Structure 1
Amino acid sequence: MSYRSKASARKKRAGRRLAEAVIHIRASYNNTIFTVTDGGGEVVLWSSSGRCGFKGSRKKSPFAATTAGEEIGRKSLEMGIESVSIRVSGPGQGRDHAIRALNAAGLKITSISDVTPIPHNGCRLPKRRRN
């Protein structure tokens, strides 16, 4: 890919205006990651606690999730996104604080769904060790 095509792709992405989007929040034990996608599932924006300047064990804090949520909310409003559907995944501490930050940023939240993968029995465990 040449330099010119990269620049045009960047301009094309920056110039795109959306009315509604889906925000995926992945709240793990170590970090909180935000991904904004359009209706087709293409990534438009992303942010995380680590990208906002938090390092080490502070990345997993609720304050870090709030900061990243405020940043992604501000960027979404700049792109023209007004209403969002939120999908939250993972057991991390920043789940609720991330949603509150998006609401405080001025985005209209249409739905919140928990898409954390839950095992339904899964694979059979290995047999017990004999002594």
Structure 2
Amino acid sequence: MAIINKKIGIIFVLFTTNNVLYVLTNCIGEVLFSISSGTQRIKGLKKIVPATVHLAALQLAHYISKTGFTQLHLKIKGVNKTKKIVVKTLSQLNLKFFTLEDTTSFPHNGCRKKKKRRI
């Protein structure tokens, strides 16, 4: 029997209001690689433009292909219009995902409203 080495990785993508963070971990949870769209020497709201999100995803994919991960799980968190671009970029680079999970938390009812002011 041949022993097959399977490297399992988990990619976490966090969309904040001003930045996009990528973290690659192994199955135990140890951080192996992390990058953000802010590392592209771009400041302000241009960090969440689809072009910079695409460039950071390419750098992540380059590291993944260099280290030789065979099984990947993708977890996306946050609300942003560039979610599809990240998934599309990573899937076009021959990265095979076993699970795609959106872990964005939404409030069920929200905070309690303030009492109406009486004069």
Identity percentage over the alignment?
27
Structure 2: segments with no counterpart, 5+ residues: none
TM-score by length of 1: 0.78
1:20-51 per-residue CA deviation (whole Å, 9 max, x = no partner) reads 21101111221111111111112111111111
Task: Name segments (4+ residues, structure 1) moved above 3 Å.
Answer: none
CA RMSD between the two structures = 1.8
1:38-71 per-residue CA deviation (whole Å, 9 max, x = no partner) reads 1111211111111123221210111111111111
Kindly tell me the number of residue pairs found equivalent between the two proteins.
Answer: 115
1:77-125 per-residue CA deviation (whole Å, 9 max, x = no partner) reads 1111122111111112321111111112221111111100111225433
Matches within 5 A, 1:8-87: 19-87=7-75
Separation (CA, whole Å) in 1 of partners of 2:88 and 2:58: 9
More helix by share: 1
Structure 1: segments with no counterpart, 5+ residues: 1-16
